[in-house]
Each structure stands twice: as structure tokens, then as C-alpha cells.
Amino acid sequence: MTPKISLTGVGKTFPVRGGGEFTALSGIDLDVAEGEFLVVVGPSGCGKSTLLDLIGGLTRPTTGRIAIDGAEVTGPALDRAVVFQQYALFPWRTALRNVEFGLEAKGLRRRERAEIARDHLDLVGLSGFEDRYPHELSGGMKQRVAIARSLAYDPGVLLMDEPFAALDAQTRDSLQDELLGIWAKTGKTVVFITHGIDEAVYLGGRVAVLTSRPGRVKEVADIDLGSRDAREDVRSSPEFAAHRHRVWSLLKDEVQTAQRLTVPAPRKEAIHLG
Amino acid sequence: MASTVEAPALIEPEAPESPPRRAGRRAAGLAAVAFRRTIAVVAFLAVWELAPRAQLVDPIFLPPVSEVVPALWDLAKSGQLWSNTEASLVRALSGFGLSIVLAVPLGLLIGWYRPVAELLNPLLELFRNTAAIALLPVFILVLGIGETSKIAIVLYACTWPILLNTISAVRTVDATLVKSARSLGLPAVRIFQKVILPAAVPSIFTGIRLAGGISVLVMIVAEMVGAKEGLGFLIGSAQQNFAIKDMYAGILTISALGLAFNQVLVLLERRFTRWRTDPGR
Ligand SMILES: Nc1ncnc2c1ncn2[C@@H]1O[C@H](COP(=O)(O)OP(=O)(O)O)[C@@H](O)[C@H]1O
Ligand SMILES: [Mg+2]
């Protein structure tokens, strides 16, 4: 069976000011199966966002090939949706109209759009907030709207770039659970980027660990935590700790390399190894 | 901000806020606001009234406000005030309106094509920083002393704030918003229409509001330099004929006009940018 997303030998270099090139990604081989939840972790600056841009078709790879359902990606399209860390909601549109945005691109009629948008706001637990403008919503609600917007036009693939990184711990936990619920319900293929180990292990069916500069796939770890049961706290189970330790070990060297490569002050998005 | 607390999962987030309960307190609050907003103006008028009466300033050069108001009333009754105001309004609004029609599309175009913006920017800065009034003699020389040169100078002066604000509005649109629209595979024209344009509206309106103030200023100066009617002419000729009260009546009319014009523009701006976060509202 062809994988939903397939990357073969993907590399990306950026021209550097004053001449020369900077290799952000190199030799990425990665297959994502239909309906899979793949998490990509890596130290800050290793090329995670670049990887997502490539799959989204927002930039073209310098080498290699990216395919969705076997067809090469040549640009962005409605078969993929991107959720950004900064929400990227249109501040002049209400929550409902934001969710409708992708449906407009699809060319649906107004009535149909509103109906689908309402259903998706409901899916993310925001019915009753249709007429709120983004500035009237909390960070968590904004990200819920952004997720609803991405799901509304029914893409097969959901690409998420550190979507919960700007949220407080409690909100993040609840959104993680909601996302898993939505994923189970909709069967989307999800590529989820994070720099948090706990988040990676909790969400991922598989966790791909990237090396620091240039980003390569160091290893893909299978995570098996059984079914998520609300009654049990998965995060405190011994299996979770074991997986967590595994990913932590894979990342440790990379983070150290990355820190040696960066200018002294650790960035806010630096990885938490605590 | 009412939005910092996050609702826990599976629980309906807080309901929209309930309507205000104590109407009485609200009325009192409104009265306090009205007081705060008018007190400075009332104090100013009192000083204007009392200073000449107390001989702190020469009442010949600054007659008390109670003597200016009847002069204003007389001007209004004779129809002079209205005909001059009308002449001024036509000039200011034509120049201002034309500048919007011209500068907004031009600014959108220049802002959208980055290389054009970079190329033109130094020239635009030069024009903007050349006081329009300094060019008035040139306009009169080329276009004569009639309506054309007056409308043209207003148009010229109003163009810069609108043009420059529009260009920078287009260029400073949040890149993630554009990226987000691009990720849907929208063509450039659609992105412009659905993202760039609405995102630029507040900044464009700021430019328009600035231009509104400039239009009144430039119109007055142009009328003082050479005109047979208009509020600038009224003020200038009243001064030359030593009709000091009429002069102040003309000044009062202009400030009322400027105030009203600005208020209209502010209301329009609010109407079109209601989605903006602005704690001052
Ligand atoms: N458009 C670009 N031009 C030049 N360098 C870039 C560009 N985008 C990203 N980079 C560089 O590529 C590296 C990876 O960036 P990014 O993918 O954003 O990392 P991450 O998301 O993992 O933190 C960084 O060093 C960044 O400076
Ligand atoms: Mg990133």
C-alpha cells in the first residue's frame, strides 16, 4: 500500500546572506501511513518547521521527493491543512467566519459553509462562540478555532507546527486529549511537530527524532501505550516513563550539539529535559 | 482581558458576559465621563471670556467669546457664513476625495510589488517631507488662482499620508496570515483580496484620517493666499478690514468644521475596524 505521505531523500538548503548556503535538512526518508499520528521532535532550529513547510507545499525541497498518496507535492492544496503555533486566525473575521475560510476556497455556498463551520466549532467545544472575534478568545480557544478551520474543509492530512507550545500546561493537556479524540473520530493523518518530549510520547503513535543541524531522521520510535482511557493517567504509567526515557536519550546528544551551535542564551523554545 | 482563563476540557467554556445590572450607576458613570470630557473646553471658554474683560489681554485683539458669538450669528443670518463654508467644503472634500480614490489603489499596488516599493520609497519620503504649502506658489503659477489650483494642492497634500500608510499597511501584514492562506493553495489575487486588503484597512484609515485634518489646513492656507470666497478668505479679509470679531467667528467655524470632519472619519474608521483590539474604546 502506498503511504499517505512519503519523503525520500528530502533536503533543503537556504541561501545565506553574503553568499554560501545553509543546509537546514538533509537526506530525510520518512513514510507516514494513512490515519497515522506521527510526531516529529528535535532541538530548536533543527528544521522542524522547514520540514512541515515542505510537506505543506509552501516551499520546494532542494533535493529528494515528497509525495502525498503517491503523487508528488508541487504546491499547497486543500488535501493538507496546516495549524501554526501562532494560531494565524484572521482578526477581522469572527470564529465562525474564520472556520469558513477554507470552505470559501473550496467554493461552497454560504449556507453550506455556515453549517459545516458550526459543526466543526462544535467539534472543538466552541459552540456558542461563533460570533466572537479572535481577540475576544483565549489562546486555547484560538487554537481550537484554528484546528476547526483546518478540519472544516476535510483535508486528509493535518500538519501541526508546535500548535500547543504557546499555551499554559493545563490548557495544553486538555487540548492534547481533545486532539486525540478528534483524530480517533476523523481518522486524519497527522504530522505533529513539537519540542516537548512528554507531548511527543503522549500523542504519537510513532515519534521521529531529528538530529540538530542539518536535520536528519535519527530514529523513529514506536510508542505503544494501549488505548487512552480517561480513567487512567497514562502519563504516570511505567510504559510512558520508558518511552519517555528512550526519546529523551535519543534527543539528549542532539540538544547538546544544538546548544553548542547556538549563541549562548538558551532560547525560549529550547527543549525541556527536566 | 477577559480571556486569560482557559476552560478545562469537556466543560463548556464560560458563557458570554451578562448584561449590566445597575442602570443607575451607569447613568452616573456617563455623567462623570461627560464632565471629564467637557471640563477643559468649558475652562478654556471661561478664560477666553474673562481674560479680555479683566484687561489681561487687549479686548480689541481678543474680544471675549460672548461678543464673538453674536458676530458669528450675524454672519450666519446674512448667509455669508454658509456660502463661504460651502466654498471651502467643496474644495477640501474634492481634493480629499480625489486623493483617496488615487492614493489607496496606488498604495495597494506599490505595496504589493515589493521591488516597486523599494524603488519608489526614497522619492516618496522626499515628497512627503516637503511641506505641501511650500509648493502652493508653484501650483498657483501652473494652474492659476482658480478652483483647480486649490483642489490640486489639497489633493497633493492629502495623497502622501494615505499613500504611505497604505503602502506600509500592505507591507506589514502578518506573514503567518499570508502563509496560512497560502497553505490552502489560494492564488495571489485571492490572497490579496481576502487577507492583505482586510488586514490593511485599519492602517489605511489612519492615513485617511490624517489626510482629513491636512485637507482643512491646506484649504485654509490656499484660501488666505488668494481667493474670493471661503472660510480662509473670510478670516484673512476680516483681519485686513479689522473686523476682529468676524475673524474669530471664522476661526470658530473652522474649528467646528475640522472637529465634525474628524468625528465623521473616526466613526467611519470604527465602523470598518470593529474587530480590532483597542483598550481605549
Ligand atoms: N527562509 C529561510 N532562509 C534562511 N534560513 C532559514 C529559513 N527558514 C529557516 N531557516 C533556518 O533553517 C533552520 C531551521 O529552521 P526551522 O525549520 O524554523 O527550525 P525549527 O522549526 O526546528 O526550530 C534554522 O537555522 C533557520 O535559521
Ligand atoms: Mg519551528
For residue range B24-41, list pLDDT tens digits in order: 788 888 888 888 888 999
The rounded distance, in Å, linking the Cα atoms of A203 and A244 is 12
**Which ligand ends up closest to the CA of A84?**
2
| SS3 of residue A23 by DSSP | strand
**Which ligand ends up closest to the CA of A262?**
1
The rounded distance, in Å, linking the Cα atoms of A94 and A106 is 19
How far, in Å, is the centroid of ligand 2 from the Cα of A44? 7
The rounded distance, in Å, linking the Cα atoms of B148 and B180 is 47
* For testing contact with chain A, the best of B176, B184, B205, B270 (most A CBs within 10 A): B184
**Which ligand ends up closest to the CA of A42?**
1
State mean pLDDT over B223-236: 88
Half-sphere exposure of A202 (CA within 13 A, CB side): 21
Domain-by-domain residue ranges, chain A?
Answer: 1-79+155-274, 85-153
Does ligand 1 come within 6 angstroms of the Cβ of A214?
Answer: no
Identify which of A76, A134, A137 has the shortest CB distance to residue B183: A76
Which distant-in-sequence residues (6+ apart) come within 8 Å of A118 by Cβ?
Answer: A96, A127, A130
**Burial class (CB within 10 angstroms; exposed 0-12, middle 13-18, buried 19+) of A31:** middle
Domains of chain B (ranges; CATH) run 24-60 (no CATH), 65-272 (1.10.3720.10)
CB atoms inside a 10 Å sphere around CB B213: 15
Half-sphere exposure of A233 (CA within 13 A, CB side): 4
Indicate the helix (H) or strand (E) that contains A81: strand A80-83
The rounded distance, in Å, linking the Cα atoms of A127 and B213 is 44
Contact A84/B179, CB-based, under 8 Å?
Answer: yes
What is the C-alpha radius of gyration for chain A, rounded to an integer number of angstroms?
Answer: 19
The CATH code that applies to domain A1-79+155-274 is 3.40.50.300
pLDDT value at position B252? 92
The rounded distance, in Å, linking the Cα atoms of B138 and B184 is 52
Does ligand 1 come within 6 angstroms of the Cβ of A22?
Answer: yes
User: Taking CA atoms, what residue in B is nearest to A143?
Assistant: B6
Which distant-in-sequence residues (6+ apart) come within 8 Å of A57 by Cβ?
Answer: A73, A74, A75, A76, A77, A80, B183, B185
Contact A82, A161 (CB under 8 A): yes
Contact B229, B84 (CB under 8 A): yes
pLDDT value at position B279? 44
B9 touches chain A (CB under 8 A): yes
Does ligand 1 come within 6 angstroms of the Cβ of A45?
Answer: yes
Nearest C-alpha of chain A: how many angstroms from B102?
25
B182 touches chain A (CB under 8 A): yes
The better pLDDT of the pair A266, A130 is held by: A130
The rounded distance, in Å, linking the Cα atoms of A144 and A174 is 11
State mean pLDDT over B43-53: 92
How far, in Å, is the centroid of ligand 2 from the Cα of A193? 8
pLDDT value at position A231? 54
Does ligand 1 come within 6 angstroms of the Cβ of A4?
Answer: no
Cα distance from N-terminal residue to C-terminal residue, chain A: 40
ipTM: 0.85
Indicate the pTM of the whole model.
0.80
Does ligand 1 come within 6 angstroms of the Cβ of A40?
Answer: no
CA angle A167, A220, B179 (to 5 degrees): 45
> Which pLDDT band holds residue A190 (cuts at 50, 70, 90)?
very high
For residue range B188-213, list pLDDT tens digits in order: 999 999 999 999 999 999 999 999 99
Q: Which atom of ligand 1 is the closest one to the Cα of A269? A: 23
The rounded distance, in Å, linking the Cα atoms of B87 and B232 is 10
> Which pLDDT band holds residue B130 (cuts at 50, 70, 90)?
confident
How far, in Å, is the centroid of ligand 2 from the Cα of A269? 9
B183 touches chain A (CB under 8 A): yes
Q: How far is CA B135 from the centre of its chain?
A: 22
Half-sphere exposure of B281 (CA within 13 A, CB side): 11
A128 touches chain B (CB under 8 A): yes
For ligand 1, atom 25, name the residue with the nearest CA.
A45
Inter-chain CB pairs, A–B, below 8 Å? 96
A122 touches chain B (CB under 8 A): no
How far, in Å, is the centroid of ligand 2 from the Cα of A274? 21
For residue range A204-232, list pLDDT tens digits in order: 889 999 888 788 888 887 888 776 665 57
Contact B184/A76, CB-based, under 8 Å?
Answer: yes
Q: Closest Cα to residue A6, out of A80, A79, A84, A64?
A: A64
pLDDT at residue A264 tops 60: no
